[in-house]
Amino acid sequence: MTTTHPVPAFVGTAKHNLIGGRWVPAASGETIDVVNPATGATMGTIAASGAADVEAAVAAARTAFEGEWSRWTPHQRRSLILRVHDLVLENFEELATIETLDMGAPLTRTRGLREWTSQVLQFFASQVDAGTASTPPNSLPGDFLTLRYREPVGVVGGIIPWNGPLIGLWWIFGPALATGCTAVLKPAEDASLSVLRVAELLTEAGVPDGVVNVVTGYGKDAGAALAEHPGVDRIAFTGSVGTAQTIVRASAGNMKRLQLELGGKSPDIVFADADLDLAVPGAAMGVYTNSGQVCVAGTRIFVQRSIHDEFVSRMAEFTQTIRVGDGLDPNSQLGPLISQRQLDRVLNYIDIGSGEAELVSGGKRLDGDRASGFFVEPTVFASATNEMTIAQEEIFGPVATVIPFDDIDEALRLANATPYGLAGGVWTRDLSTAHKVSRGINAGTVWVNCYGILDPSVGFGGTKMSGYGWKGGREHVESYLYPKAVYMNLG
């Protein structure tokens, strides 16, 4: 379907890196095409950066860290973040449209990030005192004063994925601005435009040259160079387990601090006493939100056997009402997948699932006026087992696998039978069941009678192969600082 929504002037031109306050092309001169996933059309280019560009960005970040920025007071940093807050919100309609064009999410979703963005920026503005000194008592003989500080770690490298850059960038820039660190951010090559536009707004708001830098390019080139760089003190990465393992090995060179948010195959458990009017759409959108391209997606839906058939029937009926289309169409509820590569991956998993379980809804690429985009129908597989490929491997697409269970013990055993531990959900009217199951799921975040909500002041993280480190909350800010103790002899 064609739309008449205006395209921002920012889209459609060649985009460069932000390094040391200047916009510069890749040292090699090479570029990467920016593709609209709803149409398959090229919208412009970004820089295809490599090691030389990362070297320049890290050097700029180090210069800024050791320069004037190190003398900024907490009040100055707070005021800066609040200026960023106001400028970003003033331009949020443009940012939402850029995000929709670049990675496909419907405007209903990207516009909905406005309030969350306001919350996350206000939260980080409130955290500028995280490095405040304390005077803990000591047990030393004599007269000693003990001071304890938290100091900024230095240059932070951020590598974020394509499924939500307008969210992901703040997990890097927010704590860097709050603590006095500097940052070099490498967005995914499939979705960099919203990050680059935000970087423009940051400079306009008065962020000093070199405090934030953006280098675009492929992970194997720019991402690898950033992870390996000896001048980077901390890496924050969101992405695949395999890439994270490479980053862990690369961090050994200078013992970088790491924060890793990785994959998930999250369980969403529906008990027989659940309110199905709430649980069916809640569990379905726990899978399909952002076309299933969400790390915490509850793609393994465990349903108590006595209601399995009813749940599957109602979920299939609900799924068929979801409107899939161009994100600029105000009627679209789900957009395309990010790329042809991701579409091929998801369709391959659907083929595998069709040989393992019962396909009850969806399962096909959309044709007609959406054939040029990377659209796939939201899909439901039922009567599955937890050992099936579609129940064990992260698909990262709108594919739900419904698995029956009999009692709480079996539900927990199946839910935890995965290498991942990012998130989980529980649907029940029984408070005792809610407590037992939410405590029993091995995951960093568990939702009860809801799914996918997030308060940036609380944060989230994973366990097992879903990574380590915390995003949001005081813990996130303090991970950008290192502790220092000072002993003063007063005798």
If we measure between CA atoms, which residue out of 111, 230, 108, 239 comes closest to residue 168? 239
The verdict on pTM exceeding 0.85 is yes
Distance of alpha carbon 329 from alpha carbon 19, whole angstroms = 36
448: left (phi over 0), alpha (psi -120 to 50) or beta: beta
- Is 186 in contact with 157 (CB distance < 8 Å)? yes
Question: What is the H or E stretch that residue 301 is in?
Answer: strand 300-304
- Is 188 in contact with 160 (CB distance < 8 Å)? yes
pLDDT (tens place) for every residue of the chain, 491 residues total: 445 678 998 998 899 999 999 999 999 999 999 999 999 999 999 999 999 999 999 999 999 999 999 999 999 999 999 999 999 999 999 999 999 999 999 999 999 999 999 999 999 999 999 988 899 999 999 999 999 999 999 999 999 999 999 999 999 999 999 999 999 999 999 999 999 999 999 999 999 999 999 999 999 999 999 999 999 999 999 999 999 999 999 999 999 999 999 999 999 999 999 999 999 999 999 999 999 999 999 999 999 999 999 999 999 999 999 999 999 999 999 999 999 999 999 999 999 999 999 999 999 999 998 999 999 999 999 999 999 999 999 999 999 999 999 999 999 999 999 999 999 999 999 999 999 999 999 999 999 999 999 999 999 999 999 999 999 999 999 999 999 999 999 98
Distance of alpha carbon 408 from alpha carbon 435, whole angstroms = 12
Q: Which residues of 364-396 are buried (b: 16+ CB within 10 A; e: fewer)?
A: ebeeeebeebbbbbbbbbbebebebebbeebbb
SS3 437: helix
Angle at 319 between CA 318 and CA 321, to 5 degrees: 70
- Is 204 in contact with 176 (CB distance < 8 Å)? no
- Is 162 in contact with 188 (CB distance < 8 Å)? yes
The secondary structure of 11-36, three-state, reads CCCECCEEECCEEECCCCCCEEEEEC
If we measure between CA atoms, which residue out of 301, 319, 311 comes closest to residue 273? 311
SS3 6: coil
If we measure between CA atoms, which residue out of 235, 230, 233 comes closest to residue 248? 235
Task: Decide if 358 is catalytic.
Answer: no
- Is 188 in contact with 204 (CB distance < 8 Å)? no
User: Which residue is catalytic, options 99, 261, 377, 394?
Assistant: 261
Q: Which residues of 447-461 are buried (b: 16+ CB within 10 A; e: fewer)?
A: bbeebbebebbebbb
Residue type, 336: P
If we measure between CA atoms, which residue out of 399, 364, 341, 396 comes closest to residue 40? 341
- Identify any residues that bridge with 109 across adjacent strands, giving them in sequence order: none
Distance of alpha carbon 25 from alpha carbon 40, whole angstroms = 25
As given in the structure block, the two tokens for residue 345 are 């991956």
Nearby residues of 307 by Cβ (< 8 Å), 6 or more positions away = 270, 272, 274, 276
Looking at residue 132, its pLDDT comes to 84
